[in-house]
Structures are given as C-alpha cells and as structure tokens.
Structure 1
Amino acid sequence: MTVDKPRFLISDLCSFLGSYLSAEQIREVYRAYLFGAEAHEGQWRKSGEPYIHHPIAVARLLAEMRMDYKCIMAALLHDVIEDTATARDQLAAVFDEEIADLVDGVSKLTQIDFRSREEAQAANFRKMMLAMTKDIRVILIKLTDRLHNMRTLGVMVPATCRRVSRETLEIYAPIANRLGLYGIRVELDDLSFAHYWPWRHRVLERAVSRARGARTELMKNVETALRERLEQEGITGTVAGRCKHIYSIYRKMRDKNRSFSEVADVFAFRVVVDKVDTCYRVLGLVHNLYKPVPGRFKDYIAIPKSNGYQSLHTVLMGPQGLPIEVQIRTEDMQHIADSGIAAHWMYKSDHDDGGNPQTLAADWLQNLLEMQRGYGDSVEFLEHVKIDLFPDEVYVFTPRGRILVLPKGATVVDFAYAIHSDVGNTCVAARIERHLVPLRTVLHNGQTVEIINSPEAAPNPAWLKFVVTGKARANVRAYLKNLQRQEAEALGQRLLDGELKGFGLDWQHLPQERLQAYLSASNLTSAAQLLVDIGLGNRMPALVARRLAADGGDELAEKVQPGQEAGRPHRFPIKGTEGIMVNFPRCCRPIPGDGIVGLFSPGKGIVVHRQECGNLGDFQSQGDKWLDVEWAAEPGVDFSTGIRIEVNNRRGTLATVAAAIAELGSNIENVQSSEKDGMSAALDFLITVHDRQHLAQIIRRLRAIPPVMRIFRIPR
C-alpha cells in the first residue's frame, strides 16, 4: 500500500495545533519538540530520515484526533527514555509528572516481541493492558507510533516485516477497533496485510482496481441518484462513495470461503446527516430508490457496537444487479467512527446514554483490571483478552432494558458477570423471556435475561467449562484460588500438627522464636504461607516438623525420626471433607475400608490411592512424596466408586438394577452399557457409597437379581 509521504516540520504541526489549542499550550509543545530534537541529535531512522521526524509524525496523527497538548508533548518525547540517555526523573523535572508518566508508560510497551517465548510475550502484553487502564492516552500514543512505523516498514528486511505485521494484526489493530479508532484500525489492517502476504495483497489490489475501473460510471450514477433524492426531500447531508478496504475483503473471502466475485458489498456509500431522526428518514428514501436485500439490514444506532460505533447499515440491489452497501449516520456518529475513544477530546455528547465510546471503553478497561487481579497465568490472560478483542457480538437485554454486548457463545453466567462481579458470584439460576433456564444456557440476540441470586451462593468450578468472557473466568478463578488457599492452610496445619506430635509439640504452642527462625531461613513471610505450602504439597510436613523440633539446630532433628511417637508412626486421618486439597483419583477410586496411601502432588495437595493401584508403581522411587494415611473413624461424606455388572440382555434389566441400587441408599452418578454379544451386556455404574461394607451390601443385593451373572468393582 502506498501512502503519500507527509511533511515532518514542527512548523506544520504547530500551525495545525493552532486550530484548537491556545498559544501558551502550543509554546509548551514546541518546548517539548526542542527537548526531543536535542535528545535525538545524531540519530537516524533506517529510511535515512532524522529520527525526530518520527515523533513529529506521531504527534501529527494525535493532533488530527484533537488530543490534548500534554498528549502531543508526550508523543514528541515518547522515545527519549527508550532510545536516549534521558531518564524519567529528568522529564518530570523539565516538564511535569503527568508527561513523565505518559512517556514512561509508552516506553514500557516497546518490549512486546513475538520472537520471545510465549510466556514473556504474554507478560509484556499484560503490562501493556495495565498501562492502558491507568491512562488511555498511553495506548493512543502507542497505536499512532505503530501506525507510522507500519507506514515506513518497507525499509526493513522481509522477516522483520512479517513479524511486526503479525503482531499488529493480532494485537494492535484489534485494540484500535475495540477503542473505536476505525481509521487507525483500517490502515493498520491493510498495511499489515500488504507486508505479511504481499502477493495476496497485490492480487486483490489489482482485482479491486479493475472492479472500480469497470464500474466507475455506475458508481457515480448511484452517488448522484442518492444526492438528488436527498435534495428532493429537503434533507441536508453529504454522500460519499468508497471501496471496502482490501484486508476486509480478504478476510470475508477467507472466512466465508468465497471468491472475489462473490463478495457482495465491495462498494459502499456513506450518508452523513444532521440528526438521528433524519437517519431513519434517509433509510426509507434509499429503500424506495433501490430494493433492499432481505436480512442485510443492521441498526447500530439503536444497539451500538461494543466500541461505541453507531450507524444504519443496509445492502441494496443497485443498477445492473450490483449489490451496494449504504451506511447512514449523523455527524457526531461520524466523529466517533473516525476517532472512537479519542472523540472525548474533540467532541462532547449532550447526554450520556451509556453507549458512547468513553463509557464503553471505560467498562472494558475496568474489566481488564478485574482480569489482572484474577489471573496468575499471563498466557491465559492474553488468550482471554484476545477473545474480548475478536468478539462476534451478541446483544442481550436486562429486565430494565439495558443492552449488554457479549461475545458469541456467551452464557448466562457471562451475562451475570457483565452486570457486576457480585451478581455473577451469587447467581443460582436465570430467566430468559420469563422462563427458567440453567446457568450454562448460551445466549442469543434480542433475549431479555433476568438473573436469580442467592446471598449464600458461590462460584462453581464447573462454570470454567462453559464461560467464555475473560471477566467471568477471572472472577471464578479468583474465588477458587482464595478457596484453595484457605483449604490448603487448614490441611497444612493438620498435617504439620500430626508430625509435631511425634516430637511432643503442637502448632498452637510452638515456640514463636523457633518458628520465626525457620520462616526467616526459608524466606517465608508468614506462618500462613508455610501452612499453605505444606497443604499444597510444596513442602513435606515431616521435614518441616523435624526442623521446627530441632531447638537451635539440626542435631535433634538427626536423632529423632519425624512422625514417630514411641516407635509408632503417625497416620494422617482422611475424612473426605478436606475439600479440593485432598483428591481421590479415578484410576482406583478409594472408599473407606480400602487400604490407602497418600502422595503429595505439588500445587494439588494430597492424592489418595488404593494400596493396590497400578499407578503407584510410577512413584516407587519418590519415597519423599509418600504419606502415611488412614480413614477417619467417621468419614463425613459419601465416596464415588465403580462397579461392572454383566447381565443377560433382557428388557427392563437396567431399570431393575438401578432400582435395587437406589433402594440401598446409593446415588447413581453415571451409567454406561455395552453389548458383549447377542445374549449379554455389561453395565458400568458410578455410584456413591459410605464405605466397603455399604458396597458389599449393594453387591449382595444385585447378585439376587436373576439376570445378573457377574459383578466386580472397577477399576480393579
């Protein structure tokens, strides 16, 4: 793509700024230019231009968006910390803290590099999002910086062009779109496409040029017809024809598997009028002038896009059967379409209906902050922000008529969290169009959703299997992380107390000086952190107890064996109520009465296996991970186990077997059947039992059923 080379003169910039800034503010901008020019003295870009040309070009882009003078100053200085010897404190002293923070924020965003490891790239993206939530101007400067770099990317080697273009398509262009910066997004898309797939770009560019040339007269006739119809009705407005940008055409061809000739709306017309009422009048006029294509009308005025974009879109069957798209909007909507969130500085709305770009961007940024707190994994954070950056949107309503925009595939839980985190955390059910529905129900356009809450409710780990928005996932994970920490701390205390008994000690009466000495030596900040580490399986309770029992040194620890009292090893009692820090694996499904052993799994706590479990052989050489466990005298819950029943294949056998299991107080969690031969079948039941004795009663009862031939426990 060729772009006219702009002038890089500070005089041109200052002259342009005079259209909306005061003389004093322009003098401050010029002072920033002098500082930047001196700092970059002797530096040259690969294109052969003095380096200061780049900051001036970035500042000019922001000036065209009518940004405030401090943002323009920061743009002129945005590379001085990164590329010169200038320090942040020096900027703060010469200018002020606000400008220093803006420049420092932009400098920290320069480290995003797709050549680095995935984790490092994701962590840097997270840093960019955090800077963005602090001051939106940081990302606006970065986006315009990227735009000018893309305009001059042709001087770089092909590998660099592809890397930077891919990064722009995956991160920067979607952010520009999310913030409503349509012009920047379109140019970033097309420039990235031209550098990443140069051959495809050239082919499409030629095709568009041929189509435009062949239909130039036709398009002029359509434009003239639209303008004349407006004049006939006394409507003042502007009509402009344009071609769809090349990357948009390419993406439609790729995603919908269509040829160029099948892409209908290559040509489009924009009608800009004075007010909203006139938009709908014009819609009626164009529908009378040309026949509308059924199903191709969208009202983004009544329901704005998530970035604040508003317009009426309709596709018409033009002369000679040529499909054309017409967009109808007001002047204010045109400002927002061009500048998005930046329209805050150049245009003030007379009312705030919650759909303007400032409000929508602020909501999105607030969601980012919540996700920052909820995610420990930067890679996962990046993936779920990308989901929010590429939404196929679904528009749904609250009972009071508020419109919420969610990604396609969003569920009731996503809707609840979109309203407020507290609403999501306590939701138990929902009504769609006044009908009760489960929380995993996928939402569709136009539905009215009412959330039912309970103060005692809490997020369910199963929600992670179906929620799609980053905000919902972050909140659920944050709750589970906190719950896991609490349960890990309680389990850690029980484990350590059990080992300390072998030394005649207990946690509550442990000498504080001894505990503090251990914490300091282990680089732990608190006793709670120690207990959490033990509960998570990251520290062995026997070793910790040995160190704590060694009063002043390791001598006693060598003489006294951990977990022993009068030669009897201590066993940790398993109740089944310990929560997520004690796990019963599917490989053997232990129940009370089984001989069991415990294994420490870092980050998960204790995994309890049956002694005869085949998977234990994998841990024979890891004796430090084994834990002596036993069933508590009165386990607090029922446990899941599996049984296989081989039966004669008769009608009603499954119902008879299921009824017998239920009679003995067992719940059937799952059942699967498979035919062995024409005469017999195998029924695999997953049931809950109190203990081995309860399981034996169920097996005896089932053996009394005539069609039953054989029963055994699975896995064996």
Structure 2
Amino acid sequence: MEEPLLIERKDFIQLYRKLYGFLRREWTLEKTCLLKSIVSDSLRTQEGVFDKAALRDLIHRMKTAAITIDEIGLKQHTICAVLLFQPIQKEVYSLRETKKFFGNEVEGILRGLLKVNEFSDKKTAVESENYIRLLLSMAEDIRVVFIMIARHLALMREARNGQQAERLELSVMSAYLYAPLAHRLGLYSIKSELEDLSLKYTDRDMYDYIATKLNETKREREKYIEEFIHPVKERLDKTDLKYDIKGRTKSIYSINNKLKKQKIPFEDIYDLFAIRVILDAPLDEEKAQCWQVYSIITDMYQPNPKRLKDWLAIPKSNGYESLHITVMGPGSRWVEVQIRTRRMDEIAERGLAAHWKYKGIKGESTLDEWLSSLRESLENKDADIQEKLGDFKLDLYDEEIFVFTPKGDLFKLPKGATVLDFAFAIHSKLGASCVSGRVNGKNVPIKYVLKSGDQVAINTSSHQSPNQDWLSFVVTSKARTKIRQLLKEEAAKQVDIAKETFSRRMKNRKIDMDDSILMQLIKKLKYKTVTDFYADIAVDKLDINWVIDRYLELENKESEQRDFAANVSAENFVVRPGSVVEQAQDELVIDEHLTGIDYKLAKCCNPIFGDDIFGFVSSQGIKIHRTNCPNAHDLFSRFGYRVIKARWSGKTGSSNYATILRIIGNDQINIVSNLMSIISKEDGVQLRSISIDSNDGLFQGNITVMLANTSMLEQLMKKLKSVKGVKSVTRLN
C-alpha cells in the first residue's frame, strides 16, 4: 500500500497540471507564475519547514477548484481566489496585494470566502445566529456560493474514508443547505450526487440495495431504451436537424423516495430513466427546432397532455430551459422525454453559472431578485432563527407559476402562491392594505390560490391591517417576513401599554417592584421571555391583579428564606436525605461530551445500543434516532439546525432495548415453536410480543424482543435465518 504522503503528492501533481493548464488559457506566464510562487510559499511554516497539513488543505482546495471548472463552469478569477485563500489566511499574502496584482474580482471573492470561513468553521453554525450570517455572507457574491457548494461536494466525496459522525454532519448539511442551494442554482448533477452520497452515508443498506438492483436491470433497461430510440432516430435522420439522443437513469436517492412514498417494490417502478434529445441549433431557431422534435415524437408515441412541461416560453428562475413530455412507449410504459438545445443542456448541467458565458456576469436579474429576497428575509431582526431558516428553505425548492398584472407585467411566484403573496410581491404597502383581488375579472378573497396565466388586480383599504391568520396561507418569504414584521410592531405597541398598566397598578397598591422577583415569577409561569409575559397581559390572558397576588406570595417566601438562612449556622447545617442523587453512568453521549441529559429513544426507528444515531431537539426534548430512520432525511432537510451529534459510550449496552423483527417463511409444522425455542435459549434476549399470520402456505409476522445491543441482534437474526423454511428476517424501521 502506498504511503498517504505519496498518494497526496500524486493527487497534487495531477491537479496542478489541470489547474495550471486552465489558468494559462487566459493568463500570461508571469501572472500564473506569481500565483504558483505565492501558493508554494504557503506550504512552508515560518521556520521554512514543509507543512504536510498545509499540503492536504491545498489539495482539498485544488479539488474544489477542479469541481468549479468541470462541473460548474467558473472562470480563472474564481480559481485564483480558491487557491489564494490559504496564503491569505496564513498571512503569506495580503488582500491589498491581491487587488493590485489579480484585480478587484479576485479580491471581492476572497473577502466573501473569508467571511464564510469565519462562521462555517464553528461547530454551532447551524444552531445559532452565525448560520444566518453565514448565509448572508454567501449571498454577497454568488460565486462564493458556487465555491462553497463545490467545497462541500469535495468534502462529501472524501468522507467515504472518514468517521461516521463526520459523515452524518456532512450529510445533514447536504440535505439542509447545499443540495437545496444546488437545486436553486440549477446545479442538478451536483444536487443529485450530494443526495445520493447522503443516502449512502446514512442508510448504506438501502443505497446498496438500489445500486445492486440498478446494476441487475441495466441490460434490460438499455435494451428498452434502444427499442424506444431506434424509430425516433430513423425519423430525425430524415430531417436536417443535428442532434444527440441518449437515456439517463434516475438518481438512487430519487428512486428511494419513490419506493418510500408509493410503498412499492423496485420491480414496479417503470420510470427509472428519461430519454434526452439535445439539438445543435442556432439561437434564433432553438424553440422552433425543439417543437419540431416534439411533433415527431408525439406522432410516434401517444403523449400524456397533463405531463407536458414547457420551460421554453418562460424559463425557470434558475435559468433552466427545456421541453418535457411523457409518452406511452413500447410495452405500454410511460417514458419521459426531455428536448433541449446544447446551450440549454449546458445551463441545465451547470445552472446559473453557465448564463455568464452567454449574458455576462451581471446578466441574470432573476438571481439578483432571489438574493435580494433572501437578504431581506435573513436580515429581518424581528424574526427568530427558526422563522428565518424556514423562509430560506421555502425559497429553495419552489416550483413556479407565472401571473400577470392588468398592464401585462409578468411575475414569477412559487406554486401555491395566493393573491396576498402577489400583493406583497408588488409592494409591501400594497400587501399590508390588501383586502381582496380580481383574478381574470372575478372578485376573489386574499387567500385565493393563483394559477399560471392568471391576470391579477389588487383591491386595498386604508382600514386593513395584517393579522396572524395571514401567516397560515402565504407561501413567499417576502410576504411572511413583512407580515411578521408588521405583527411584531403592533405587538410591541401593545406590550408597552401592558408594561405601563402593570407598573401603574403596582404603584396604586403601594408595592415597590423588585425586578429579580418579577423575573422569578415570569419563569415560574413558564414564559420564555418578558415580552411574552406582557403580551398575555395585553390580550387579557393574564389578569393583572392575579399576577400581583402571585408576586406578593413569592416576595413573602423570599423574605422568609432570607430570615431562616440568617438564623442557621454552618455547623448545624445537615444535608437532607435524597438531596444528592448519585447519577448512574450514562450510556449515551450527546454533542461529543454531554452526558446526564434527558433524552428519549424515537419510536419511529427504535434505536438500540450500537446503532449509528443522531439527536434531534424536538418540542418534547431530545429524541434519539437511527441515521437510517425513515424520517431521518426529512429531519435533516427541513430541520438541520436541530440535529445534534450523539454516540453510545462504552463497548456494550447495560440496558435492554426493544426491537421488532419481521419474519417471512413457509408455513411448516413446528416452525413457530422452533423460532420461539431459539429466542428463549439466547442469553440476554427476552421475548416481548409475537404476531403471526398465515396465508396460502406462507407465514409472516412481527416479533418484538428486548436485548442489549446490535451485536446480540445480529447474532439472533443469523440464528433465526438458519431455521428451515424461513425466507427472510429483517429489522423493522
């Protein structure tokens, strides 16, 4: 086996040649050599000793740079910024010198990367205000976002040799931030790879199962694709069109989603692939040629009109242009066909970055609009972190509709957007005073859900003001952010009035208010903030006189305790029985080092000692889930900021855990009693419940057992599988 340093040097040489060649396409030899010299200097310590850690970091950054070239399509300025990051960080080189020799663009990207690094290296970034600052830093220059996505993809690829805890953390970030970001920016290949790797690291069994099945059906799939494509090619060859046609298999992650949602076996999934036709067409003939291919294919195969998706007339906001049709292929199987030009395909693969090749770096206004909306949402100081992150997530995966003003101006909104969303999209003041709308000439309420092609006018009233109910039906982050802001402004006024009223009542009863006692009372009444306390007084949820009576009771109790403490000397103090509880050693460590924390084992996946696990902060406290829990991806992608690390301590569990086994087999004489016999003879295994059904010579059932760890479980399953007639033994959830 080669030494790690030798492998690293091989990687370095290969990447160096690639990047050097790329830079020399546009740069002078002098400029390229200067960059090489700066990077070389950063590989040595101040004492001049070669720094192995710096080489590893540089190789990682070079891999990031290679991804930005090959899979995103960024230019020399971005690659230069990625390579200069380490020298700038180690102060081998300065930002001022960067600006002088490499220009404003490189210096601007580096500033963004330094800001991002300041927050992203902190372990609590996803759980704190730092996360918001991280997102805002990324939003300053979109190339910083592309670099961060490329860096995360490089980390995910390298994580195959890392620790499970590291892979879980990266998978959570993939599901929660980077895959949605890649989707939003049109980087579909990167999005799919991040999702596939996340599944591989969190549920390896399911990943391997689907990969094996895809491999087994590859020959059959290729045969069907050829059967579908052959007559299409014959027709296309009779035209003057220049084209490529190929089949593309769905990602493992999307197949897994289909299996879970539809609850069907792999063999019942028919749309495992899509056919793609890519045309070499002049810019002014692109749409006409795409529709010509559409006409040829739908003449040959019956189309499904409900599945037609036209992103040629109005592209998606991430730049995606294509024509999608679903037709009935040979053997009565539905097949999706994607028709696009070479330019459109490049944008589909490389997202918004590819637009710069055609329109220049400032040419994508829809991206600027999205970033402005993102900043507005994240900079809202009145919203808490969960609200901000919820809005951020909302804007990432949206499907779009297109609606018009009475003058014919076009607005893109997420699917499910209402009249009120449309009003806020035009202007915040218009949204705040909106009372109804006119859609295609008919009056509709503000919660009316719009459809593509609707023409919308807004009716307003000076007496209208936002209410809490509005948040239940708006879907755009701009509307939600503004409504919350207006509601909080109104609530703040009410809170000030409540404070003043409470203070006046206390004075009327000749009571001097002690802030520390008031804070104790607020805590005792289970209020998280003082504002929440006064807000309930404002809406008469709390009676002021009742609160003052509770305050006086607490004040008297405090006074009695002070008097008692003054009269008891230290030598007479006795520890009461039960005041000190010896804590048993905890079997579970949360967030690297915390023990003794209350937690519950999630019932959706029943983790046991030895499983790969993570913690999830829910409203009922911390719940422990298996990393391959059916709900894991949903928790990662929607609530990544609530996921915390968790691991078992020690080598074997000292507690008993419940787990459910699903057993299927031939209904033979004594087979159930044989199974029971094996369970009863296993040391440390207790049978808790059994449920068996028999039908047409087959039996299937669930057996719940109590045991200490995964090793005992694997041993038990192995023995149960060896019983004659048993076809399969699997662990449920």
Match of 1:204 among 210, 218, 241: 210
Identify if the C-alpha distance between structure 1 residues 611 and 329 changes in structure 2 by more than 3 Å, giving closer, same or farther: closer
> Is 2:322 the partner of 1:311?
yes
Distance change >3 Å, CA 491–CA 606, structure 1 → 2? closer
Structure 2 CA distance for aligned equivalents of residues 45 and 282 of structure 1: 54
CA distance in 1, matches of 2:181, 2:371: 11
Deviations 1:505-548 (A, max 9, x none): xxxxxxxxxxxxxxxxxxxxxxxxxxxxxxxxxxx99789xxxx
Do the aligned residues in 1 keep the contact of 2:377 with 2:477 (CA within 8 Å)? yes
- The residue that corresponds to 1:650 in the other structure is none
Query: 1:495, 1:541 within 8 Å by CA — same for their partners in 2?
Result: no
Q: 2:294 maps to what in 1?
A: 283
C-alpha change, 1:58 and 1:368, in structure 2 (3 Å) is same
Residues paired across the two proteins, number = 522
328-337 vs 135-144, which deviates more? 328-337
State whether residues 109 and 124 of structure 1, in contact with CA within 8 Å, keep that contact through their aligned partners in structure 2.
no
Name the CA shift for 1:612/1:234 in 2 (closer, same or farther; >3 Å): closer
1:93-148: CA deviation from partner (whole Å, max 9, x where unpaired): 7756653442342244347779956x852523312321132111111111111111
Matched, 1:366 2:366: no
With normalisation by structure 2, the TM-score equals 0.63
Q: Residues 362 and 299 of structure 1: is their aligned pair in 2 closer, same or farther, counting only changes over 3 Å?
A: same
Q: State the partner residue of 1:124.
A: 130
The offset of 1:220, in angstroms, is 2.5
Is the 2:494–2:538 contact (alpha carbons within 8 Å) kept by the matching residues of 1? Answer: no
Match of 1:13 among 19, 44, 47: 19
Alignment of 1:287-366 (within 5 A): 287-348=298-359, 358-366=364-372
Determine the structure 2 residue equivalent to 1:75. 82
- Which residue of 1 is the match for residue 34 of structure 2? 31
Taking the aligned partners of 2:115 and 2:543, their CA distance within structure 1 comes to 54
SS at 2:275 equivalent: strand
Deviation by residue 1:183-212 (Cα, 9 ceiling, x = unmatched): 222222222222222211111111112222
Is 1:412–2:416 an aligned residue pair?
A: no
Q: Deviations over 1:482-509 (max 9, x none)?
A: 3444565677778889999999xxxxxx
How big is each residue's C-alpha offset from its partner over 1:309-363, in whole Å with a ceiling of 9 and x where there is no partner? Answer: 121111222223343221001222212212222123322289x9xxx8x222211
* Distance change >3 Å, CA 216–CA 95, structure 1 → 2: closer
Residue type matched to 1:342 in 2? A
Match of 1:161 in 2: 167
Q: Is the 8 A contact 1:81 1:104 kept in 2?
A: no
Deviation at 1:175, TM superposition (A): 0.5
Q: 2:553 aligns with which of 607, 615, 621?
A: 621
Counterpart code for 1:448: Q
For residues 150-201 of structure 1, give each alpha carbon's deviation from its aligned partner in whole angstroms, at most 9, with x where no partner exists. 1211121122112211211221010011011222222222222222222111
Residue in structure 1 matching 2:533, options 579, 601, 619 = 601
C-alpha change, 1:199 and 1:491, in structure 2 (3 Å) is closer
**Following TM superposition, by how much is the alpha carbon of 1:58 offset from its aligned partner in structure 2, in angstroms?**
1.6
Alignment RMSD, CA only? 4.0
Please identify the structure whose Cα radius of gyration is greater: 1
| Aligned residue in 2 for 1:220 | 226
Distance 1:614 1:214 in 2: 76
Please state if 1:146 is matched with 2:152.
yes
Distance 1:253 1:391, change over 3 A: farther
Contact map agreement 1:79 1:107 (CA 8 A) in 2: no
1:409–1:442 CA contact under 8 A, matched in 2: yes
For residue 188 of structure 1, the aligned residue among 187, 194, 207 is 194
Match of 2:432 in 1: 425
Q: What is the Cα deviation at residue 70 of structure 1?
A: 2.2
Query: Could you say what secondary structure the match of 2:306 adopts?
Result: strand
Amino acid at match of 1:214: E
Contact 1:227/1:238, CA 8 A, preserved across alignment: no
Identify the range of structure 1 (59-68 vs 27-36) with the bigger mean alpha-carbon deviation.
27-36
After TM superposition, give the deviation of residue 300 of structure 1 in Å.
1.9
Checking the alignment, whether the CA contact within 8 Å between 2:183 and 2:397 is kept in structure 1 is no
What is the CA–CA distance in structure 2 between the aligned matches of 1:447 and 1:262, rounded to whole Å?
A: 38
Quote the residue 1:177 is aligned against: 183
- 2-side partners of 1:199 and 1:609: how far apart? 53
Task: State, as a whole percentage, how many aligned pairs show the same letter.
Answer: 30
TM-score normalized by the length of structure 1: 0.64
| Residues 57 and 320 (structure 1), Cα distance of their counterparts in 2 relative to 1, 3 Å cut | same
Q: Report the AA paired with residue 302 of structure 2.
A: K
Matched residues in 1 for 2:303 and 2:168: separation? 41
Residue identity matched to 2:34: R
Given that 1:371 and 1:474 are in contact with CA atoms closer than 8 Å, whether structure 2 keeps it comes out as yes
SS in 1 for 2:340: strand
Match of 1:105 among 112, 122, 127: 112
Q: Distance in 1 between the 2:493 and 2:546 partners?
A: 32
Question: Any conservation in 2 of the 1:394–1:407 contact (CA below 8 Å)?
Answer: yes
2:390 is the counterpart of 1:383: yes
Secondary structure at the aligned position of 1:222 is classed as helix
Structure 1 contact 238–271 (Cα < 8 Å) conserved: yes
CA distance in 2, matches of 1:289, 1:303: 27
Most deviating of 320-329 and 484-493? 484-493
Kept in 2, the 8 Å contact 1:40–1:84? The answer is no
Residues of 2 paired with 1:415 and 1:203: CA distance?
45
Q: Report how far residue 616 of structure 1 moved.
A: 7.5
Q: 1:698 is matched with which residue?
A: none
Equivalent AA in structure 2 for residue 481 of structure 1:
K
SS in 1 for 2:241: coil
* Residue number among 55, 63, 76 corresponding to 2:61 in the alignment: 55
Greater relative contact order structure (CA < 8 Å, 6+ sep): 2
For structure 1, the 5+ residue unaligned runs are: 504-539, 545-598, 625-716
Segments of 5+ residues of structure 2 without an aligned counterpart are 1-9, 45-49, 516-530, 557-733
